[in-house]
């Protein structure tokens, strides 16, 4: 079976590739076949079928032989004993670079933070893309075949992979203009993420299918006849819109399937741009156009260089339908995107094609800029997902010189300024829209002509801008400005705070600030270097006690402190020690069995918090958060009564326990704020014990909410939703 798939692959390549020498592709196939010989996929098929299927998808994009070889070999280094050096020696440095670009980082054994590893893998992938864009084409083909065979995975993995595909890979395919991949990735993700909505939509569309096909067929015949009559050569056909695009429209416009008429689109493909506008005239003569529904993506291409004329008209039976008109070259670009004019076709690549490719890569350069600016991996991942949001609409505005700038819907002149250049945004003091001065929070509309007013006397961006801007690019640039502007001072202040705290607690600073200990802290909090940790402490993002105590814990593990916890417990309680045992509280106290455990009121720890035990006199062990002020401020003498403790997974009945926490929400005051806060708490099914609201002299609303939750994950999810409420500026966990 694999040999037949391989022969089919060669047939596809021969249709577009001028060479007859496929010996290196044959060599790659033989190596992959040997390397994966004993491996099976979840479906039970030989593993080699997957890399062959990936190579087949790349051949459908008409990519070069090096890409095909890398597609066949893409899992060899990750899953077998073969190395990148071996690939380099046996094939070429070029093929090895492509294989390495799609190979995930080695699993990090001392980190359980999967999001951290995921973010690092994306960083690696984008860096490899900057060296060779074919890396992402291989990765997209790999992901598409994995999505096609996702039914063999567990439901949990199906949803996780589908979510990642919809968040990252489908938008990537869209950004690079590869609709051939984007459409299928979106529909497959939709199918696994929301199967009920997917199959309901499939069923409803199937009921209308025959009527719609007859309707579209009649229109196609009528349009083709009129176009032939005026002497324009054209291919006219009708196609159904894909399910996810219909679902997006239903969600975005709050419509039912019966209210969406353009389930099918009619497309005319012609030979020249002049013919495109000629066909448009025919269509508008035959059918009445709907005002505001004409889009000229030929004169103003989309950011991914998609070009076409779109118009929505009233059909012969009074039903609207969408008409798309494009040239053959535009159609190829729409289907294959950046792969449409691949470089190996030397001599065929025009200057305009190269400019088209360069423009598609502008967005990639922006991603790479974010990589350099952000030391925090999770921040990078959040910004990336926000920028790739598949539900986000776009608005198009003009510079004074007539260039088109596309931005997320709801963008402001600040977003526009930072899109032009960070220097423009940093020096911005005002803006004119269509010749009139507007406020900074003005929402840009399609077709606005925007002029940014700058001044060398500007002191830089305001923190208030972060509350009104929409684009990830602007947020990144503003945060970058503040980090750079105050970084040196923050680093110095952070180091001073660490030194002062260590001295007060009698902890030898020179012993704990060593790479072997600081590495654990950097990994835990997602920082790339120690100075970034110091800067975070300097501007208040982290507590110095939290970091020093963590370093000291790592230090004590290393030197194996002689003070054994079991001895301390025996001394205070006069009880026998044995192996750790799970208590009903869900807390494991190291080395102690059947010991009374209670949760401290001063910091109210919940599952997911880093915790530590404090041996009380006669009342067992009290459990605190490691960043609790009472623990941080313990005297050196009392620190001997600390004992290691950790959360342990409980069975379903026991894990239903709730824990009390208190948070403070600080927001600008407005009508409806209390309703919005209450709505989020209700939607998340949070039992609220008390809610106190007040306003201060600065016109800020302050809410103190006491509630029951089941752990840190639920608390983080809740605070994330609360932060999305209009006007909310800060959320603080107050019981600490």
Give the catalytic positions in this structure.
Answer: 78-79
CB 218 within 8 A of CB 206: no
Task: Report residue 107: phi and psi, to 5°.
Answer: -65, 140
Q: What is the CA radius of gyration of the chain?
A: 30
Give the single-character DSSP code of 81. S
Strands 611-615 and 621-625: antiparallel
CB 706 within 8 A of CB 692: no
Helix, strand, or coil (residue 287): coil
Distance CA 243, CA 585 (A): 48
CB 56 within 8 A of CB 25: no
Four-point Cα dihedral 249, 250, 254, 258, nearest 10:
120
Give the single-character DSSP code of 444. P
Question: Which residues does residue 702 pair with via DSSP β-bridges, in sequence order?
Answer: 666, 694
Long-range CB contact pairs, 121-128, < 8 A, 24+:
122/168, 122/380, 122/381, 122/384, 123/371, 123/377, 123/380, 125/101, 126/364, 126/367, 126/368, 126/371, 127/368, 127/371, 128/97, 128/100, 128/101, 128/102
Give the helix/strand (H/E) hosting 686. Answer: none
Structure tokens at 680: 């989020």
DSSP assignment of 547-580, as one string? Answer: HHHHHHHHHHHHHT-S--HHHHHHHHH-----S-
Helix, strand, or coil (residue 335): helix
CB 297 within 8 A of CB 327: no
Give the single-character DSSP code of 168. I
Distance of CA 166 to the CA centre of its chain: 9
Distance CA 518, CA 12 (A): 53
Helix, strand, or coil (residue 296): strand
């Amino acid at each position: 079976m694999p040999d037949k798939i391989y022969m089919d692959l060669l047939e596809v390549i021969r249709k577009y590739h001028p060479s007859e020498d496929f010996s290196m592709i044959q060599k790659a196939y033989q190596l992959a076949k040997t390397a994966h010989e004993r491996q099976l996929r979840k479906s039970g098929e030989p593993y080699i079928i997957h890399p062959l299927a990936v190579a087949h998808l790349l051949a459908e994009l008409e990519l070069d032989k090096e890409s095909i070889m890398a597609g066949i070999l893409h899992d060899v280094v990750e899953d077998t004993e073969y190395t990148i050096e071996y690939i380099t020696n046996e094939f070429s440095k070029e093929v090895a670079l492509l294989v390495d670009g799609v190979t995930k980082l080695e699993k990090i054994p001392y980190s359980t933070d999967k999001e951290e590893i995921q973010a690092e893998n994306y960083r690696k992938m984008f860096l490899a893309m900057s060296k060779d864009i074919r890396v992402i084409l291989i990765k997209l083909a790999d992901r598409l075949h994995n999505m096609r065979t996702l039914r063999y995975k567990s439901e949990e993995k199906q949803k996780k992979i589908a979510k990642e595909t919809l968040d990252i890979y489908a938008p990537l395919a869209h950004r690079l203009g590869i609709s051939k991949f984007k459409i299928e990735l979106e529909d497959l993700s939709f199918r696994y993420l929301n199967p009920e909505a997917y199959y309901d939509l499939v069923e409803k569309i199937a009921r209308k299918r025959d009527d719609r096909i007859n309707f579209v067929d009649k229109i196609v015949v009528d349009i083709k006849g009129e176009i032939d009559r005026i002497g324009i050569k054209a291919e006219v056909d009708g196609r159904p819109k894909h399910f996810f695009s219909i679902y997006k429209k239903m969600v975005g416009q709050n419509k039912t399937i019966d209210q969406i008429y353009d389930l099918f689109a009619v497309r005319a493909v012609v030979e020249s741009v002049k013919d495109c506008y000629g066909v448009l005239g025919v269509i508008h003569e035959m059918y009445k156009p709907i005002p505001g529904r004409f889009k000229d993506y030929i004169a103003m291409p989309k950011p991914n260089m998609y070009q076409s004329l779109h118009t929505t008209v009233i059909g012969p039976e009074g039903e609207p339908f969408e008409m798309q008109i494009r040239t053959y070259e535009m159609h190829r670009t729409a289907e294959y995107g950046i792969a449409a004019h691949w470089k190996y076709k030397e001599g065929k690549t025009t200057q305009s094609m190269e400019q088209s490719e360069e423009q598609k890569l502008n967005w990639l350069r922006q991603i790479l800029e974010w990589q350099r600016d952000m030391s925090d991996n999770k921040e990078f991942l959040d910004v990336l997902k926000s920028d790739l949001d598949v539900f986000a609409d776009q608005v198009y505005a003009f510079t004074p010189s007539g260039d088109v700038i596309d931005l997320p819907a709801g963008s402001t002149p600040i977003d526009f300024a930072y899109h032009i250049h960070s220097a423009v945004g940093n020096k911005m003091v005002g803006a004119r829209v269509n010749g009139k001065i507007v406020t900074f929070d003005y929402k840009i509309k399609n077709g606005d002509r925007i002029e940014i007013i700058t001044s060398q006397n500007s002191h830089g961006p305001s923190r208030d801008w972060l509350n009104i801007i929409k684009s990830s690019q602007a947020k990144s640039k503003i945060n970058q400005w503040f980090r750079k502007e105050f970084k040196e001072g923050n680093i110095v202040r952070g180091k001073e705070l660490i030194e002062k705290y260590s001295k007060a607690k009698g902890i030898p600073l020179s012993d704990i600030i060593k790479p072997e200990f600081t590495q654990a802290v950097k990994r835990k909090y997602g920082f790339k270097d120690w100075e970034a940790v110091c800067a975070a402490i300097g501007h208040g993002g982290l507590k110095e006690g939290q970091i020093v105590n963590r370093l000291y814990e790592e230090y004590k593990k290393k030197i194996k402190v002689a003070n054994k916890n079991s001895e301390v417990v025996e001394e205070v309680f006069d009880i026998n020690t044995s192996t750790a045992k799970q208590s009903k509280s869900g807390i494991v106290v190291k080395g102690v069995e059947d010991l009374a455990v209670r949760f401290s009121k001063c910091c109210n720890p919940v599952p997911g918090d880093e915790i530590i035990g404090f041996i009380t006199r006669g009342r067992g062990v009290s459990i605190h958060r490691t960043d609790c002020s009472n623990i941080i401020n313990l005297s050196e003498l009392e620190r001997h009564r600390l004992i290691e403790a950790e959360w342990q997974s409980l069975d379903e009945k026991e894990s239903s326990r709730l824990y009390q926490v208190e948070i403070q929400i600080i927001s600008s005051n407005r009508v409806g704020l209390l309703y919005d806060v209450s709505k989020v708490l209700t939607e998340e099914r949070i039992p609220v014990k008390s809610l106190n609201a007040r306003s201060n002299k600065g016109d800020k609303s302050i809410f103190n909410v006491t509630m029951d939750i089941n752990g840190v994950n639920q608390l983080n999810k809740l605070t994330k939703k609360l932060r999305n409420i209009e006007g909310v500026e800060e959320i603080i966990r107050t019981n600490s």
